[in-house]
Chain A
Amino acid sequence: MRSEDARGIAEGGTRTAAGRARTVAGREQEMVPEAEFRSYYGRPVIKPPVWHEPNMPTYLYLGGMSGASSTMAVVARLTGHARLARTARIAAALGAATGVGLLATELGRPERFLNMLRVFKPTSPMSVGSWILATHGGLSAAAASSELTGILPRLGDAAALATGLTGPLTATYTAVLVADTAVPAWHEAYRELPLLFAGSALAAAGAVAMLGTPRADAGPARTVAALGAAMETISGAVMEHRLGFVGEPYREGRAGRFMRAARILTLGGGLLAPVAGRSRTLTALSGLALTAGSLCTRFGLLAAGRASAADPKYTVVPQRQRLDATS
């Protein structure tokens, strides 16, 4: 790869990027089977995300699971599904607490974790997200402790109700966080990523709730899981179709394997979910497949972002086309 690139530069620094390219605005360009582009010895133009496996993608999963679980807990409570509400409340608190822990380990200076709340910066999705997560984590912890201990039930309920607001935000802000970067596979996907994350979060929360609730009480959790799986599958397909060439990293290599596994697991688990109430085995199969699917989506996302940053063609080709289109 390196030597091929070096040869490319000796011949004028040109390498070809096969595939279809589209402009950022989403306007379809002419089919460009071989887009030529030049680079500095094939080196990346931008820096890859520094976040690691398994921490960062697992956090994305847990944050989503927690956010959707608390939403489910609120609605379950209001509609009289006490058993389901209880499971979802506890899952929401555990997810948020573990997620916060994982985030701290991702910092270069974990001892300065609290600097995250030093300021509130609307231009930084991570700042906004830290405040959302801190609020959500606190509220869901209060709701779950009251549920488990029976102390201050009114306050616990009020906290749980408030997570109905923080939950959906916790599950979706992360999409803005990754999309607000120079990584082409992330930024260009900013329309679909939030819906993909929301679907993945619903599938994950539905799965946990149906695994953790007696089957007779878990009916709505199975529906949540099935709806989430559908949302995740559809938005993922739309995203890859619209991105075209820039979406290549989601199809190739390690990221491609994760994304394909995610699709199969999510689709399989989602199709099973409506009938999973019939037996314990079906519940386990569906719940575990959906959990694995949601995790694979998050791991695939990080891998695709890294691949997208590592190859200069994803940065240079769309920018060059943008320039050529306007000049």
Chain B
Amino acid sequence: MAERMGFFTDSSVCIGCKACEVACKEWNQLPDDGFVFEATSYDNTGMLGASTWRHVAFIEQAHEVSVHGDDGVDRWLMSSDVCKHCTNAACLDVCPTGALFRTEFGTVVVQPDICNGCGYCVPACPFGVIDRREDDGRAWKCTMCYDRQRGGLEPACAKACPTDSIQFGPLDELRERAEDRLARLHADGHDEARLYGENPDDGVGGAGAFFLLLDEPEVYGLPPDPVATTRDLPAMWRWAGAAAVSLAGAVAVAFLGSRGRGSAS
């Protein structure tokens, strides 16, 4: 396996231009997913889905924040969300056909020629990333531009991002870079800055695509403490085994002491 590649999305420099959304649609030839006026913010995409693999969140906050001594600036948070390419990926774990697989870059990709659209990966993802395209019947999500990476190119979103809010590279390097950036922001007094998804000890074993956020993750629509539920699979099977035994036991009890009229020879 080649080095594990990843995304570091630094939301502190995101300007909400949506170049990543557009670049992703163009390169991956994603169909439109309806034009909805959400009437909540500049975000009319809503959320990640089968045909939206980058999604820019906009959060207008009426907090007064001080920027370079000027008081009275409302905070406007923007962040480009994407599949986390989890170390322990629930979608990959539960996929019964083997359509979802781990690439040589450590990313998680669906093989469209194998997916039978069972839909299991959809509610399994703790981030609500992957979805089934109803007209096509299969599940789709970000591939971290598997095709471009194989050709030695960086993913389309990272390429198009004008502020380098989206950075692509070997995950280890990105983690170091993120720590430096965080230390810098904290030194500048931005105590609200935090990393999200960078910790290999979290419920998904750390994300291959992690973030620098300026508020709590749930404000951006991200789960604060995501877990790949396959972690509990042994326990789940134990409870199911006990239930199966109880079922057989109940049937046996029901027949106890009653001999049938039929031939019991």
Contacts and interface: CB of A to CB of B under 8 A. Distances in A.
Interface of A: 2, 6, 9-13, 37-41, 43-51, 67-68, 71-72, 75-76, 79-85, 106-110, 112-113, 115-116, 118-119, 121, 123-127, 130, 164, 168-169, 171-173, 175-177, 179-183, 186-187, 190-191, 193-195, 197-198, 201-202, 206, 216-217, 219-221, 223-224, 227-228, 231, 305, 309, 312, 315-316, 319-320, 322-323
B97 A119 contact: yes
20 contacts: A37-B218, A45-B128, A45-B218, A46-B127, A81-B261, A108-B117, A108-B119, A112-B97, A116-B97, A119-B97, A126-B96, A130-B96, A168-B248, A181-B120, A190-B232, A195-B239, A198-B250, A315-B223, A316-B218, A319-B224
A291 B130 CA distance: 36
A246 B122 CA distance: 20
Given A108-B119, A127-B97, A175-B240, 20 more contacts: A38-B219, A47-B123, A50-B132, A51-B119, A68-B251, A72-B251, A75-B252, A80-B263, A108-B138, A123-B93, A123-B233, A124-B94, A124-B120, A172-B243, A175-B236, A182-B126, A186-B123, A198-B246, A228-B250, A316-B224
Contacts of A197: 243
B216 interface: yes
Given A46-B123, A126-B118, A320 B96 contact: no
A183 B124 CA distance: 7
Interface residues of B, number: 85
A125 B118 CA distance: 12
Contacts of B12: none
Nearest to B130: A47
B119 A106 contact: yes
Interface string B130-143: 11111011110000
B114 interface: yes
Residue of B96, B124, B232, B255 most packed against chain A (CB within 10 A): B96
B116 A223 contact: no
B196 to A, nearest CB: 12
B229 A81 contact: no
Contacts of B260: 76, 79-84, 217
How would you classify the secondary structure of chain A's contact residues: helix, strand, loop or mixed? helix
A10 B46 CA distance: 17
Given A68-B247, A81-B260, A198-B243, A47 B235 contact: no
Given A71-B248, A181-B123, A182-B124, A43 B47 contact: yes
Given A13-B219, A119-B97, A109 B236 contact: no
Interface of B: 38-41, 46-47, 57, 59-63, 90, 93-99, 114-120, 122-134, 136-139, 216, 218-227, 229-230, 232-233, 235-237, 239-248, 250-255, 258-264
B251 A179 contact: no
Contact of B59 (A9, A168, A228, A323): A9
A223 B256 CA distance: 10
A308 B197 CA distance: 24
Given A115-B97, A182-B229, A223 B254 contact: yes
Contact of B218 (A39, A112, A121, A179): A39
A224 B119 contact: no
B137 to A, nearest CB: 3
Contacts of B63: 12
A12 B219 CA distance: 9
A195 B229 CA distance: 20
A50 B122 contact: yes
Nearest to B95: A124
Contacts of B246: 195, 198, 231
